[in-house]
Structure formats: C-alpha cells, structure tokens
Amino acid sequence: MARALSAGVLGEIGRLRGLYARSQSALLPALHAAQDEVGYLSEGAMQDVADALGLPLSEVTSVATFYSMFFTEPVGRHKIRVCTNLSCYLNGSEPVLDHLCRRLGIRPGETTPDGRVLVEVAECLSACDEAPVLLADADRHGRLTPAAVDELLGRLE
C-alpha cells in the first residue's frame, strides 16, 4: 500500500522515536511532522504514524482529535488564530474577529471556499501585552485594528 508520508518524514519520525524511552512519547512530534507535510492528518497519514510508532490507529486518532492544533479534515493553507481571551477581549478582539470573518465571508472555524484561509478562535496566546493578538500561521500580529487585518489578508497568497 502506498504511504501517505514521504520517506523523509518517516525517517524523521524514526529519529523522534529515539529521543524518548517509550516510542509513544514521539506521537505529538510525529503528528506535527505528518501534518506539516500533508496539510492535515488524513487517515493514511495517521496510519503511517501508527505503523512507525507501533501503535494502533485508534490510539493515534484518539490523541490527534484531543489537541486543537491537529486537523483530521482538510483545512485552509493559511491558519489564522484570533485570541479572544480576556485581555484581547478587553482591547477589542471581537470587532477584529468580526471584521476578519466578514472580509473572508466565513465564520470562525471555517475555511474559505478556495481553501486559502482557515479562521479559528484561539485561547489566550500569551501575548496579552500586544492585545488584541492573532497568529497567522507562525507569525504573531499584535495591537490589531481592522485596517491591520486588511493589510495582513493582502499578504497571504
């Protein structure tokens, strides 16, 4: 059967396994590596991870669905996570989130129909000094305004 993960990622999972006394400890790092390659955790990707770590697929699925950063369905190429927790809420995160969703025509938790952007509500991103804050993929943007959101969207291909 064809593998969902490349030899490179499978090799990386083998390396990760060596960092721990028990191979299941490598599960979260392995799922990160798999998702980085495929874009989400397809059943094939999770099966490959299960095989590489000697775990049942049910265990891998159970763990993958517990953590909010793992996706078991295809999602947008870009992931925007908007913090709406207290300090951001007090500093205007709701208008920012509303503006973002209106611009993209989607609701929080949804991906644009062209598959470009996923918008999610994030819990406290530990950057309350820059409130309101969002993460666009790996980049943090703070002191957001609707205008800053427009500018950011213009830069995401």
Partner 1 sequence: MAELLLTKYLGQPGREAIDAYLATGGYQAATRALTELAPEGIVEMVEASGLRGRGGAGFPTGRKWKLTPKREGEVRYLVVNADEGEPGTFKDRTLIEGDPHQILEGMLITAFANQVHQAYIYLRGEFFLGYERLRRALRDAYARGYAGKNILGTGFDLEIVIHRGAGAYICGEETALLESLEGRRGFPRLKPPYYPAIRGLYDLPTVLNNAETMAHIPHILRLGPDGYKAYGPPILYSVSGHVTRPGVKELPIGTPLSAIIFEHAGGVRQGRTVKAVFPGGSSSALLTAEHLETPADFEPLAKLGSMLGSSAIIVMDDTACIPAVIRRTVEFYRDESCGKCTPCREGTVWLSQILDRILHGTGRMEDLDLLDGIARNMTGTCFCPLGESVPPSLRASLTYFRDEYVHHVETGACGIAPAAVGGARA
Residues that bind partner 1 (CB under 8 A): 19-22, 24-29, 31-32, 53, 62-63, 66-70, 81, 84-87, 89-92, 95, 122-129, 131-132, 135, 137-140, 143, 145
| Beta-strand relationship, 78-83 and 117-122 | parallel
Minimum CB separation from partner 1 for residue 92, in Å? Answer: 5
Would you say 69 or 156 has its CB closer to partner 1? 69
Would you say 16 or 104 has its CB closer to partner 1? 16
Would you say 2 or 67 has its CB closer to partner 1? 67
Minimum CB separation from partner 1 for residue 112, in Å? Answer: 21
Asked if 134 contacts 81 with a C-beta cutoff of 8 angstroms, the reply is yes
Asked if 133 contacts 139 with a C-beta cutoff of 8 angstroms, the reply is no
Minimum CB separation from partner 1 for residue 45, in Å? Answer: 15
CB 122: neighbour CB atoms within 10 A? 20
Asked if 133 contacts 125 with a C-beta cutoff of 8 angstroms, the reply is yes
Minimum CB separation from partner 1 for residue 6, in Å? Answer: 20
Would you say 115 or 143 has its CB closer to partner 1? 143
Report d(CA 157, CA 154) in Å as an integer.
8
Preceding omega of 95 cis (within 30 degrees of 0): no
Would you say 2 or 9 has its CB closer to partner 1? 9
